[in-house]
Structure 1
Amino acid sequence: MDNTARGKYLNSTRRKIILILSLTITLAVASIAVLGIGGVNVDFINTFRVIFHPIFPDHIAQPDFPYYTNIIVDYRMPRVLLGILTGMCLAVAGASMQGIMKNPLADPFTLGLSSAASCGAGVGIILGPTILGSLYYSNISFFGEVVGVSSLFMVMTAFVFGLVSVVILLSLTGRRQVSQSTLILTGVVIGYLFSAVLSYLKYISDEEALKDITLWLLGGMWGSSWSAVIIVLPIAILGIILLETYAVDLNALSSGDDVAKNLGVNVQSLRRRILIISALMTSACMAFTGIIGFIGLMAPHIVRMLIGNDHRYLIPVSALMGALILVLCDTVARVIVAPSDLPVGIIMYVLGGMFFMFLIKKMRGGYEI
């Protein structure tokens, strides 16, 4: 065993790469497995055939029953893919926000971004028909798929309101050093403000819009469709790539603002860019899934316990961990009260609350990011 500094570095890098490969394989296998779980259970072999027979028709047989393809491809696959993308976006946004804020409790949920995006989506649901008129109910072709203008409008309004919350947060805390408790309290206050606006929108909405908002606020995958996947996919890929390019700067920032500035990092610009990218990623997902909390808090901390705080690896591994957590929790939500469908947001509140208490206990013992 090489105990030199170079040897330890290579061993550490090897462990991180092995973890990335292991999580990738686990996520792929779990995703295929959960595609077969539902009102009509499909075994793993037939699920595998449904996915890969069109790609390798000469080597992989067709599924036993043709309707398996309709069930998996038309209904379950968009849901699982949206769960993967949402888990990735929320986890990466949480890891990046914790890095720029140097606060282990920072994530889109605790900093008010989720509430702001929720308010924006509520505006899209209630005021969309009034603002856009008949255009709201029309469709456009997007990469060969039909996408509703209503969905695009919800993403836009959710992002705009999420961006407003970022501007408010930066204006209140960005120009001076504030404590971690003050930062979290500011996020909570911002969340309350946007929640108040959303409550008013619910009060003035009609019965149908009120039902849509109430279901949406519970957090679930009811909005999953191929059009939703097509909208979120490029935003998720671009956002993760952009945040990964800032990994070295985030590593420098972890040593303090002064150290990062001496290394050539524009700290204020870095914070603004990461918060804007995080707002876009979070808002795009939540426009279709509603509020799903604690993914951005849990996934990065679990990953830090495994590989440390190097953002070059923390960001991609957090993405895989967040996707795995949300896909598994959504599967539990689908089967725990079958044939009904429990909102996955409820599962995440329970799991996240337990993890939050665990985290607070660890912090009392001196745990830091």
Structure 2
Amino acid sequence: MSDHQRFSYPIMSIKEEYANLSLKEEYSGFIARKTSFLLAGFIFLLILVTFAVTVGAAELGMKDVFFAITARFSSLNVSDFTYGVVWHLRLPRLFLGVVAGAGLAVSGCVMQGITRNPLVSPFTIGISSAAAFGASLAIFLGSGLASGGQLFVVANAFVFALVCAFSVFGLANLRGSSPETLVLAGIAISYLFSALAAVLQFFASEEKLMAMVHWSFGSLTNSDWDSIAIISCTMLFTFPVLMRYSWDLNTIMLVDDGTAKSLGIHASRVRTTLLIISSLITATIISFTGIIGFVGLVAPHVTRFILGGDHRFLLPGTCIAGSILVIMADITGRCLIPPIVFPLGVVISFVGVPMFVYLLITEKEEFWK
């Protein structure tokens, strides 16, 4: 045997070992960069929330806020006014903004993934329109927001949002639950509930019409700790399930259903499961906040621009981006013309549209994949 034959295999194995080592180092660096971005985003969110507590018609400094928060867990004496503003107005509002923004954003991200469509959001699927009809119907029947019937309005909005989700699922399932069928069914249901809500507004009295329109704007004004607890529990139980399907989402985004099935992924079943979960999250949130339609569309794209399309990082990153977007919009709405508070749904559209148009103009088609 020649010297070349004697040493060729060990040399090849050494080269392969170095190649594998290089791939491992590159992958570790990839994971580290993504994790660093997530950590940086979370820290920025904490800073933003801390700043937001001091913003409002009542001038409170960081010192006042710190003492008010400390007084909750100690015997420290603070004024009733400062304590009430921090614990009954601003903190519930901000915490609701954080969990609502996270839930709406991750729902939009999942819906874009299962439909392979960058323009899909909970609003596109029709859930927001159905919730608006449910709330309008409750107000029309006499339980307006101002008359102590908010629980009835919330429950009605939630029920009709779920009815819409299952209607879309049922219609899409007739054709195999394909992405195209989901989108088309959602658009059809959305127009139906929008028309029904318009009919109620046409026949409503002036007072009830104002309540309907106010609810459709989207707001954090009616925040309380009970609503935060309900939304947080919903996210706590559903988000791990979404993360469990992150690899399946990656596959569905890249290949067609037939190829996904050959890889062991039942695309139709995954699509149905994720649609139901994301619809449940969206229905729970907008039943308390009203329609906030742009978060689920913009936040996933901003996150994908920074972190890429791997849903293992995209889903938690989208939650952070959605929370940041909602808190920034809320700060803007409170600071424009104090003490007037602009509706969150209106402000977030002004914040989100330029950002979304910028991404549309500057990014290539591969950005969506």
Q: Tell me which interval the TM-score lies in, with the shorter structure as reference length.
A: 0.7 to 0.9
* Cα deviation, residue 355, structure 1: 3.3
* Cα deviation, residue 160, structure 1: 2.9
- Alignment of 1:127 with 2:141, yes or no, is yes
Aligned 1:57-136 pairs, distance under 5 A? 57=74, 62=76, 65-127=79-141, 129=143
Alpha-carbon distance change, 244 to 157 in structure 1, aligned in 2, over 3 angstroms: farther
- Judge conservation of contact 2:133–2:193 (CA < 8 Å) in 1: yes
Question: AA paired with 1:77?
Answer: L
* Cα deviation, residue 272, structure 1: 1.5
- Alignment of 1:251 with 2:250, yes or no, is yes
Question: AA paired with 2:29?
Answer: N
Aligned to 1:192, the other structure's residue is in SS state helix
- Alignment of 1:16 with 2:15, yes or no, is no
Question: AA paired with 2:311?
Answer: H
Q: Determine the C-alpha separation between the residues in 2 that align with 1:359 and 1:86.
A: 24
Partner of 2:276: 276
Partner of 2:188: 189
* Cα deviation, residue 216, structure 1: 0.8
Alpha-carbon distance change, 272 to 154 in structure 1, aligned in 2, over 3 angstroms: farther
Which of 50, 54, 57 does residue 36 from structure 1 map onto? Answer: 54
Q: Determine the C-alpha separation between the residues in 2 that align with 1:272 and 1:172.
A: 12
Question: AA paired with 1:190?
Answer: I
Q: Determine the C-alpha separation between the residues in 1 that align with 2:55 and 2:77.
A: 16
Question: AA paired with 2:332?
Answer: V
Q: Determine the C-alpha separation between the residues in 2 that align with 1:91 and 1:320.
A: 9
Q: Determine the C-alpha separation between the residues in 1 that align with 2:272 and 2:163.
A: 12
Alpha-carbon distance change, 274 to 266 in structure 1, aligned in 2, over 3 angstroms: same
* Cα deviation, residue 42, structure 1: 1.3
Partner of 2:15: none
Aligned to 1:254, the other structure's residue is in SS state helix
Question: Deviation per CA, 1:279-321, whole angstroms, max 9, x where unpaired?
Answer: 1211111112111121111111111111111111111111011
Partner of 1:301: 301
* Cα deviation, residue 197, structure 1: 0.7
Q: Determine the C-alpha separation between the residues in 2 that align with 1:183 and 1:358.
A: 28
Partner of 2:23: 5
Q: Determine the C-alpha separation between the residues in 1 that align with 2:362 and 2:83.
A: 47
Partner of 2:264: 264
Q: Determine the C-alpha separation between the residues in 2 that align with 1:120 and 1:159.
A: 8
- Judge conservation of contact 1:32–1:47 (CA < 8 Å) in 2: no
Question: AA paired with 1:98?
Answer: Q
- Alignment of 1:159 with 2:158, yes or no, is yes
* Cα deviation, residue 262, structure 1: 2.2
Aligned 1:197-216 pairs, distance under 5 A? 197-216=196-215
Give unmatched runs, 5+ long, in structure 1.
Answer: 131-135, 139-147
Q: Determine the C-alpha separation between the residues in 2 that align with 1:39 and 1:270.
A: 47
Question: AA paired with 2:105?
Answer: A
Q: Determine the C-alpha separation between the residues in 2 that align with 1:186 and 1:352.
A: 26
Aligned to 2:368, the other structure's residue is in SS state coil
* Cα deviation, residue 251, structure 1: 1.8
Question: Deviation per CA, 1:320-367, whole angstroms, max 9, x where unpaired?
Answer: 110011011111001101111111111122233323433443566553
115-124 or 314-323, larger mean C-alpha shift: 115-124
Question: AA paired with 2:302?
Answer: I
Question: AA paired with 2:237?
Answer: L
Aligned to 2:342, the other structure's residue is in SS state coil
* Cα deviation, residue 24, structure 1: 1.5
Q: Determine the C-alpha separation between the residues in 2 that align with 1:327 and 1:119.
A: 26
Aligned 1:303-318 pairs, distance under 5 A? 303-318=303-318
* Cα deviation, residue 173, structure 1: 4.2
Partner of 1:144: none
Question: Deviation per CA, 1:148-203, whole angstroms, max 9, x where unpaired?
Answer: 8x4444444323322333334344445258786x8656543332211111112223
Give unmatched runs, 5+ long, in structure 2.
Answer: 1-18
Partner of 1:133: none
Q: Determine the C-alpha separation between the residues in 2 that align with 1:158 and 1:213.
A: 12
Q: Determine the C-alpha separation between the residues in 2 that align with 1:93 and 1:296.
A: 6
Question: AA paired with 1:41?
Answer: E
Partner of 2:354: 354
* Cα deviation, residue 265, structure 1: 2.1
TM-score where L is the length of structure 2: 0.84
Aligned 1:329-340 pairs, distance under 5 A? 329-340=329-340
Question: AA paired with 2:190?
Answer: G
170-179 or 264-273, larger mean C-alpha shift: 170-179
Question: AA paired with 1:92?
Answer: V
User: Percent of counterpart pairs with the same letter?
Assistant: 33
Alpha-carbon distance change, 51 to 331 in structure 1, aligned in 2, over 3 angstroms: same
Question: AA paired with 2:117?
Answer: N
- Judge conservation of contact 2:178–2:268 (CA < 8 Å) in 1: no
RMSD: 2.8
